[in-house]
Every structure is written in C-alpha cells, then in structure tokens.
Amino acid sequence: MLWAGSDTGLLHVTADSGKTWSNVTPKGIPEWSLISLIEASPWDAGAAYAAVDTHKLDNFKPYIFKTTDFGKTWTQITAGIPDGAYVHAVREDPGHKGLLFAGTEAGIYVSFDEGAHWQSLQLNLPNSPVHDMVIHGQSLAVATHGRAFWILDDISALRQADSSIAASDAHLFAPSPTIRSRMGHMNRRRYAIGENPPDGTTLYYYLKEQPKDSIKLEILDPSGKTIRSYTSEEKKEESASEEWERDEPAQHIPAKAGLNLFTWDLRYQEPLKIPKAVYDEGQPAGPLVLPGKYDVRLTVAGKGSTLPVDVSLDPRVKTSSADLRKQFDLMLKLRDREEEMNKAVLSIRDLRTQLLTLEKRLGAADHGKTDANKSLIDQSAALRKKITETEDELINSKATASEDELHYPTKLNSKFGYLTAAVDSADVAPTEGELGVFAELDGQLETQLAKWREVTTKDLPAFNDSLRSASIPVVAAR
C-alpha cells in the first residue's frame, strides 16, 4: 500500500505497487492545499493520517485527516490544536497504537486517542515550527525550522498514560529497558558536544496531590536488597556537626502534584562524603550495577508499588560476566572502605570540636589555674593531638583545591579516590596492579582505623572517667 499527496490538494493510493492509483482526496481539504505528509499506520494496513498545510492560501487553520478504510472515508481530527498552528507532519507511535504526534507551525502536539483530542507537548521545546518527527525506540526526535534538532529521550510514560492514572493518588510508570553505558560520563569529561540525557534510567511517577509527608524511591537488587534509596525530604534534621549531612542535592527526588521524573544513575549507594573535601577525580561514586533485573519501589503515604527494570550490557562491550563481577566486587570494597574512612574523619572532627569546647570552658573557670582543671585540659589536648595525627593520615585538611595536591602530601582519601577512578574507568577486570594497590591502601587504612578504635575503646573512656570524677559532663565519639 502506497500513498501519495500533491501540493495541489490531491491524495492518491495504490495497492499494486503503483500500477494503478485511486484518487481518495478527502472532501474537507481546501482546494490547492499542500499535502505536507502522509503517515501510514504501523498498526492497521487500511489506516493513514494526512497532514495538510494551507498557510500559503492565507488559511492558518490546522488540518489532519484520518482514514481506516484505505481512503474511502476520512475524518478530520484537530480538536485541541488552535488556529495558527497549521500542521506540517503527523506520526503514529509504532510502540503504542493510537498515540499520535503532530508537528505544527507553533510546536508539537500529542493525542492519546488516535487524534480525537490533542494537547500541547511543548515542554522545554522552543516556540518553533516542527516540520517532521521520527520515533526511534523510546525516543521522539523532532526537526524544527530554525531551532535545531530536539529529542524527547523517553516517551514510555506517554505510552502508558490513560485516564485511570489521573484518578489514582499515586502511580509508578513501568521503567523502560535500560542499557548500562558509560558514554555520557565519558563525554562530559572529555568532549565538547551537545547536551545528552543523564546516564541511567529515567523513572516517572504521578502524584495526584503534593504529599504532606516525604515519599521514598528505592532500587532493589535481584535478591531484594535495597541498594539505593532516595526521599523527597529537602533537608535532614540538623545534627551536632553539620559535616554529617550528606551534601548531595541529587538525593532528593521531586514530589510535586502531577508527573514527576527522576534519573537513577544505575549505581549503588555512594560512600558518605566529607563536605568541602577535595576530590580530584570527582565526587566518590558507588559501583555501577551489573546487567540484570532490578526493582523500583515507590512509597507514598505508606503505600508502596514495585515494578521491574531490566539493565542490559552495552552491546559494544565484550567483557565477560566474570570480569565484570571482579570489577564490581573491587568497586564495592573500595566504596565500603571509603565509607569507613570518611565516617572516622567526621567522628574525629566532631570529637575534636567537643574537646576544644571543653578546654575553653575549663580554661575560663578560675582562668584554668586549678590543678584539676589544668590536668583535664592537658589530657584533652593530648587526646586531641592523637586523633588529629590520625586524621592527618586519612585526609589532607589543608587542601582547598585540587591543585593543592601539588603542595601537600597525598593522603589516603585521595589515594582511594585515584584508585576508584582507575578501576571505574572502563568495563574491564581490575589489573594486578590495581589489586595490589588496593591491598596496600587497605592495610594502611586499617592501621589508622585501629588507632581510632583504640581511642574510642580505651583513651576516651579513661578521659571520661576523669571528667566524671570532676562532675563534668563527658564527651562522646559518634
């Protein structure tokens, strides 16, 4: 079945590869109109859509005609498209029957009911004529007249939309199958190119109203264990030390009334970060997930809904599953050890703040001249010196920019960061050198953590006994 449209308002169809043609011009087409584009339905052999442009006739009304019987009868379908938005193109989604897109002089429109009703799909698309569109996989690409090419990266939510969703309090859309790729990450770091969608899988969910309480979005591995968790809570409760706050705005998911979207970067939970610390290779990240089946769970007002998401290996990657597992295992060990190290640093800083406050208070009492106060101040200062020496081996607190690595010795947090970046740079098994460096750094870290544990189990309890004897409130390690 072939369709042909002319710039004189005629529309023909052939069923014999062009040997004979039948004039099936709709009666409602104005004379001398331009048949801008004909879309043969991918779902029904007898169905087609015709976009008709009459602006050269000083007629700026939109015209789209639909047939389901090979052109014998036509119906005009433009309800919702305003005058002035004359139509250049119409396309039907090959992935979902009845989902139509119209490219007009005033942007793009979408219909969920085979054209019976239309609504704007402009989003952040500049106000510009849309002369053609193509649907590729989960994406809708549009060609504008003067505002470049634009791509709506994931139309899966549009494919699933129906009237029952708007009536529900909350709805989680089924995630699209996702390719595990590093290209976006590499492009941002190395190449000056156009803006790409973020790495990972975009999760869509609908909320009838903005919830009063925080909502939660969780990623579960094949065994059902939560590997990543996000909430809509804007700010955590203040703690004794602000440095304990996770400085990660991306951890907060949107929770507005209507459609919400959030991109999971296909990674496990990252280690706790040290605010204002210098990370030469970017912020610490969790391991990239292995290919497989995962679950997404949305919890709103105590009610949860869970849907699967398939993560497949980049087809260009030929690394074996066994080698990917080796890389993942090392990345997980690096993540866990960085978490332990960073918690120790934050605990040391918190304890040091408490000790400095105590020394100031004791020094102010009788100007610190009593033997008891002087003894406690000396004990506190000695303990503070000891934990600072441990901290100095874990992190360079003097560094304020990556260039400072040239002026100060590289400490364990930077060494772990460099190793993590190297292991995570490509989909390959760790080298013998990387494994050897990890073993060495792991041993160095354990030495420092053992010193910190000695402080918390021996030195600090002994110091607190002295404080209790003097009827002074004790200090505590977090």
Examine residue 384 and state whether it is found in any structural domain, yes or no: yes
Reported confidence tier of residue 242, pLDDT bands at 50, 70, 90: very low
Which range among 234-238, 242-246, 387-391, 446-450 shows the weakest confidence by mean pLDDT?
242-246
**What CATH code is carried by the domain that includes residue 445?**
1.20.120
Which range among 250-254, 327-331, 462-466 shows the weakest confidence by mean pLDDT?
250-254
Please state the domain count of the chain.
3
Q: Spell out a b/e string for 177-193, using b for 16 or more CB atoms within 10 Å of the CB, else e.
A: ebbbbbeebeeeeeeee
Reported confidence tier of residue 198, pLDDT bands at 50, 70, 90: confident
Report which of residues 372 and 295 the model is more confident about. Answer: 295
> In terms of domains, do 149 and 207 share one?
no
Pick the last residue of a domain from 156, 190, 223.
156
pTM above 0.85, yes or no: no
> In terms of domains, do 177 and 192 share one?
yes
> In terms of domains, do 285 and 354 share one?
no
By residue range, what is the domain housing residue 349?
324-469
> In terms of domains, do 169 and 306 share one?
yes
> In terms of domains, do 169 and 313 share one?
yes
CA dist., res. 298 & res. 255, Å (int):
11
Q: What pLDDT, in 10s, does the model give residues 271-288?
A: 998 877 766 555 678 999
Q: What pLDDT, in 10s, does the model give residues 151-171?
A: 999 999 999 998 899 899 999
> Mapping DSSP to helix (H, G, I), strand (E, B) and coil, where does residue 218 land?
strand
Examine residue 105 and state whether it is found in any structural domain, yes or no: yes
Q: What is the mean pLDDT of the chain?
A: 90
Examine residue 476 and state whether it is found in any structural domain, yes or no: no
- Long-range own/partner contacts, residues 106-113 (CB < 8 A, 24 or more apart): 106/82, 108/133, 108/142, 109/80, 109/81, 109/85, 110/158, 111/77, 111/80, 112/158, 112/161, 112/162
Asked if the model's pLDDT at residue 241 lies above 50, the reply is: no
> In terms of domains, do 11 and 113 share one?
yes
Contact 215, 299 (CB under 8 A): yes
> In terms of domains, do 151 and 26 share one?
yes
Examine residue 474 and state whether it is found in any structural domain, yes or no: no
Examine residue 271 and state whether it is found in any structural domain, yes or no: yes
> In terms of domains, do 342 and 409 share one?
yes
Q: What pLDDT was estimated at residue 302?
A: 93
**What CATH code is carried by the domain that includes residue 112?**
2.130.10.10
> In terms of domains, do 206 and 83 share one?
no
Mean pLDDT, rounded, for 224-238: 81
**What CATH code is carried by the domain that includes residue 245?**
2.60.40.1930
> In terms of domains, do 149 and 7 share one?
yes
> In terms of domains, do 13 and 151 share one?
yes
Q: What pLDDT, in 10s, does the model give residues 168-192?
A: 999 999 999 999 988 654 444 445 5
Q: Which helix (H) or strand (E) is 184 found in, with range? A: helix 183-190
Mean pLDDT, rounded, for 126-130: 94
> In terms of domains, do 170 and 43 share one?
no
Examine residue 477 and state whether it is found in any structural domain, yes or no: no
Examine residue 345 and state whether it is found in any structural domain, yes or no: yes
Q: What pLDDT, in 10s, does the model give residues 406-448?
A: 677 889 998 999 999 999 999 999 999 999 999 999 999 999 9
Asked if the model's pLDDT at residue 237 lies above 80, the reply is: no
Pick the last residue of a domain from 156, 182, 208.
156
Mean pLDDT, rounded, for 113-120: 96
> Which residues make Cβ contacts (< 8 Å) with residue 334, sequence separation at least 6?
416, 419, 420, 423, 438
Asked if the model's pLDDT at residue 230 lies above 60, the reply is: yes
Pick the last residue of a domain from 269, 297, 317.
317
